[in-house]
Structure 1
Amino acid sequence: MGENLQDHLEFYFQFRCKQPISLNGQLGPWSKFKIGTRWLLKKDGLGATNHFESCGFIRSKAGVEWPDLQYHFLPGAMRYDGKEAFAGHGFQVHIGHNKPKSRGTVKVVSADPKGAPKIRFNYLEHEDDREGFRACVRLTREIINQPAMDPYRAEEIQPGEQINTDEEIDAFVRQTVESAYHPSCTCPMGTDQWAVVDPNTRVHGIQGLRVVDSSIFPTIPNGNLNSPTIMVAERAADLIRGKTPLAPSVATVGMDEQWQQRQRAASPLRHLS
């Protein structure tokens, strides 16, 4: 227990925008007052969304079975808390490598139940994770530099066009990457020597104790943890209550038939999967 810690990382890939249409123009006190008032009175407008309304997944390279890079698009260039927005208009994508191979730990350091544990994420320790973030930089540039973005895309704010080599990209990622707040996998389900819980969520070797949260994933899911964690909880609730589980889903899952040979399904860039 406490081994196998995994998390998703991401960074902000920012560009200036040629047109005055981004959220950067809505950060003044009067704009914020109008946005807040409209939401309070009508529950709509810019205050009724978190603005991350566009999301997508692509493969980092050929031979990756499931798309492992995740994008969120924001019509503004700023941090989550709205700080460090620059003068002028911009936009950004939040991009990260979703299947890390680096593993961290959570260790108890005191018998005091109120004592904080020692947490070591060990981010980017594995070379494949660093390679994945290099793909984040290069593929994002390829996408944003498509002709469809010409009316909007101006110069690159960060990483910056001067960041090109593997070494430069690695240094940028180490400096700017942030947690996507998806720590998980420290009590993995299974029957091997590293497993903490069995397939019924019961802790091995301890009678009457179960774990039902995102820590029981053996490997981190390929996207946000909210829905998978709800699914685990629903399933565990049925197991605990002794209810007959639902029949397995027979939904068809789309897959590029040549995923082992190519990074994308078609060219040019119409299907970056």
Structure 2
Amino acid sequence: FTRPESRGWTHATTPDPAAQPEVHANHFAEEIDRRTAIDIFKWIRRFGHQEALVPWIVKEIGFGATVRTDEDIAANLLQLGGTSFHIAGTAAMGRDENSVVDPQLRVRGIEGLRVCDTSIMPTLVSGNTNGPAMAIAMNAADFILRKDTAQ
């Protein structure tokens, strides 16, 4: 799903800026996300058992037919699922002091550093992130050029 309520976190593991950070997606921290994922899984399973599809489906892979209860489904989703593709929102922009990035894309507390990618999106888009990434980059260029010409 594209707009989870659960929020994860990212932490530096060492002062070395080249070191990989520790990333916690924190899937299903909110009950609505857990419930949504379980309901989607059950719908897909029902869809696959339609009479017209039965001849084409040899077996269910990954979970298996023994996974039946909501608890089992959620546990298997956490074990087999994950975050991939266009990760975004990990350094959310906002006006409050808890936001990593301010509305001019400046990292709070670090002079001269801006973030210019989809990690700044406080709310994720429901589609591909390419367009928003280009818009963020255009705004970043504008902020930087305006700052440089104002001095």
Q: TM-score range by the shorter chain?
A: 0.7 to 0.9
SS in 1 for 2:10: strand
State percent identity of aligned pairs: 38
Matches for 1:120-269 after TM superposition, within 5 Å: 120-146=24-50, 149=53, 152-242=56-146
- Given that 2:92 and 2:120 are in contact with CA atoms closer than 8 Å, whether structure 1 keeps it comes out as yes
In structure 1, the gaps of 5 or more residues are 1-96, 243-273
2:12 to 83, 102, 108: 108
- CA–CA distance in structure 2, aligned partners of residues 142 and 205 of structure 1: 51
Alignment: residue pair count: 146
Deviation at 1:146, TM superposition (A): 4.3
Comparing both structures, which one devotes a greater share of its residues to strand? Answer: 1
The RMSD of aligned alpha carbons is 2.7
Residue of structure 1 equivalent to 2:22: 118
- CA–CA distance in structure 2, aligned partners of residues 176 and 109 of structure 1: 25
Q: Within the alignment, does 1:98 sit opposite 2:2 as a pair?
A: yes
Deviation at 1:196, TM superposition (A): 2.4
- CA–CA distance in structure 1, aligned partners of residues 130 and 52 of structure 2: 33
Q: Which is higher, the Rg of structure 1 or of structure 2? A: 1
Matches for 1:65-80 after TM superposition, within 5 Å: none
The alpha-carbon distance between structure 1 residues 127 and 191, as it changes in their structure 2 partners (threshold 3 A), is same
- Given that 1:104 and 1:122 are in contact with CA atoms closer than 8 Å, whether structure 2 keeps it comes out as yes
- Structure 2 counterpart of 1:213, one-letter code: D
In structure 2, the gaps of 5 or more residues are 147-151
- CA–CA distance in structure 2, aligned partners of residues 108 and 150 of structure 1: 49
Work out which structure has the larger RCO, using CA pairs closer than 8 Å and 6 or more positions apart in sequence.
Answer: 1
SS in 1 for 2:60: strand
The alpha-carbon distance between structure 1 residues 162 and 222, as it changes in their structure 2 partners (threshold 3 A), is same
* Cα-to-partner distance string for 1:47-97 (whole Å, 9 max, x where unaligned): xxxxxxxxxxxxxxxxxxxxxxxxxxxxxxxxxxxxxxxxxxxxxxxxxx2
Deviation at 1:137, TM superposition (A): 0.9
- CA–CA distance in structure 2, aligned partners of residues 129 and 188 of structure 1: 20
- Given that 2:117 and 2:137 are in contact with CA atoms closer than 8 Å, whether structure 1 keeps it comes out as yes
Which TM-score applies when normalising by structure 2? 0.74
- CA–CA distance in structure 2, aligned partners of residues 173 and 107 of structure 1: 24
Comparing both structures, which one devotes a greater share of its residues to helix? Answer: 2
